[in-house]
Structures are given as C-alpha cells and as structure tokens.
Amino acid sequence: MIEAIKFSATGERIGTVELPESLFSVTCNNPNAVLYEVINMYRANQRQGTSCKLSRGEVKGASKKIYRQKGTGRARMGNIRTPLRRGGGIAFPPKPKDWYRAIPVKKKRLALKLALSMKAKLEGIYIIENLSFTKPSTKEARRLMDKILPERGKKLFVINDSNINIVKSFANLPEVNMDRADRLFAYEVLNCKYLILTEDALKTAQEVFVR
C-alpha cells in the first residue's frame, strides 16, 4: 500500500491518503528505456524549429562579378552575395524544420505511470484538499506553500481545471510550476522534486490515465 501525506486547504497536515496502485505502483520490464524514449520525443516536440538564415541565392545584391577575373593581381572573386564576403549569404544555411514526433498513447501513459511510481517510492507526492481562491493572491499562495513544503526544490502543483485565480496566485512563485491533471506528462513529474495534487486532480488523473 502506497500512501501520501494529506493537507487541508489551509496547509495543515490532516492525515494520509492511499494512492491508487494503478497509477503509483506500476512496473514494466525496462522502465528506463520507456522513459528515455518518451521524454526524448516530448523534448523534441518542444523545439520550435524556426531558425532561418539566407543563402547566397536569397540575399539581395547584383549577380555581377565584383571585378574582372584577371589582371588585377588580386584573388578572383564572384559576386557580392558570396558567403566569403561580409553581408553575403550563408553556406548551407539552417531552414525551418518540424521536429515533431508522434508519441504512441499507450507508451505515453505507461511512461507517466512509471514516473508517478518512481516519485511515490521517493515519498515526493503530497495531496491537498481542493482550493478555492476568491481572487488572485500570491501572498496566500506563498503562505500555503511555506506550510506544506518549506524545503527548497522544484514543485509541480497539479489542479483539476484551469482556475484562473489559483493559476495567477501561484504563477509568480519561484520553483513552482502548475499543470492540469488531464495534461500531466512524465517529463514534468521527473523534472520536479515534489508533486502536489489536489483531491479532484488525483481523481481526474485516475479517470483519464487508467484505462
């Protein structure tokens, strides 16, 4: 049985919660290989691929030779757009490229379960009662985080939906990232030291990823 510490909406420790084994106690033959492949594809999909430079054929300028071929005593030279001259084009320039790689849904879900299981073994998962901020307040968010986890380290706060007041409250806190339970990914789980989920977020994650 895997358990996580539970906190109230005010940050008080009120007991423990039993985590579902279908999400937090998953194994496979080669978990490191699965995580490596899925995270590599995920990071490749984050690349914009917008790097672009002009080749000699795209740079503005005359195509006439700068000076005649022979008789000047200087090295022969082509037009002003040559890559050898300042302001000329780039030889073999980078062009926009699509780095997207489709990730199989079953493999993506397995990687998430493996990441959650690893985090649970390290006792880095915490559950908090559902929050309700009437207005954005970074001060209240900081006070809550100091009560739950005063230790330094990256924290991932997972909520059930995009509550604008909650998102704005935690947006300015250093070392705190936020995400929705239905969009959780293995890379985010492994990239943080502590994982905090609301009760509704835990239920949503179980409904979405356990199939």
What is the structure's pLDDT at 193?
A: 93
Mean pLDDT in order along the chain per 10 residues (211 residues):
90 91 92 95 93 94 91 92 92 94 93 94 92 90 91 91 89 91 93 94 91 72
What is the structure's pLDDT at 139?
A: 93
If you write DSSP's letter for every residue of the chain in order, what string do you get? --EEEEE-TTS-EEEEEEPPHHHHS---S-HHHHHHHHHHHHHHHT---------TTTS-S--S-SS-SSSSSS-----TTSTTSTT---SS---------PPPHHHHHHHHHHHHHHHHHTT-EEEEPPP--SS--HHHHHHHHHHH--S-S-EEEEESS--HHHHHHHHTSTTEEEEEGGG--HHHHHT-SEEEEEHHHHHHHHHHH--
Give this prediction's pTM.
0.83
What is the structure's pLDDT at 133?
A: 87
